[in-house]
Structure 1
Amino acid sequence: MAVPKRKMSKARRDKRRANWKLTAPGFIACPQCHEPKMPHHVCLDCGYYDGKQVIAAAAE
């Protein structure tokens, strides 16, 4: 069984763990207003999700 020879510092450990999320999130066009939005999220511009208005739009 492998055993570490020296203690790994917190900075070195956390630097290694921070690299899993390096790509930018993907955006899609909202089907209602065609503004960019995150997939599976309510559109912040028009307030629609899954073809239904779920929040009052800020632009109105």
Structure 2
Amino acid sequence: MAHPKRKTSKTRRDKRRTHYKAVAPAITKCAVTGEAHIMHRAYWHEGKLYYRGQVLVDKTETVA
């Protein structure tokens, strides 16, 4: 198994890790509701859960 000959310095380790950056989520606007939301995620709007322009869950409906 590979074994390092020298200890990797903190500076060298951190230089390598600079490529791992947090990216901003892709935000889009729904054509049906006009609500801004994260792409490929369901979102709530006025008591309804939407995904791809369709209602999945409706909290406003009353169960009789």
Gaps of 5+ in 2: none
Rg: which structure is higher? 2
- Percent identity, aligned pairs only, is 31
Structure 1 unaligned residues grouped into runs of 5+ = none
**Given the two structures, how large is their TM-score scaled by the length of structure 2?**
0.51
4+ runs deviating over 3 angstroms: 9-13
Alignment partner, residue 56 of structure 1: 58
Distance verdict in 2 for CA 1:48–1:22, change over 3 Å? same
Q: What is the rounded CA distance, in whole Å, between the counterparts of 1:8 and 1:23 in structure 2?
A: 27
Deviations 1:3-42 (A, max 9, x none): 75422267935x71x6423331110002222111111111
Supply the RMSD in Å over aligned alpha carbons. 3.1
- Separation of aligned partners in 2, 1:47 and 1:35: 12
When the two structures are superposed, what TM-score results if normalisation uses the length of structure 1? 0.53
Instruction: Assess, with a 3 A threshold, how the Cα gap between structure 1 residues 10 and 54 changes in structure 2: closer, same or farther.
Output: farther
C-alpha change, 1:40 and 1:9, in structure 2 (3 Å) is same
**Does the CA-based 8 Å contact 1:29-1:37 persist in structure 2?**
yes
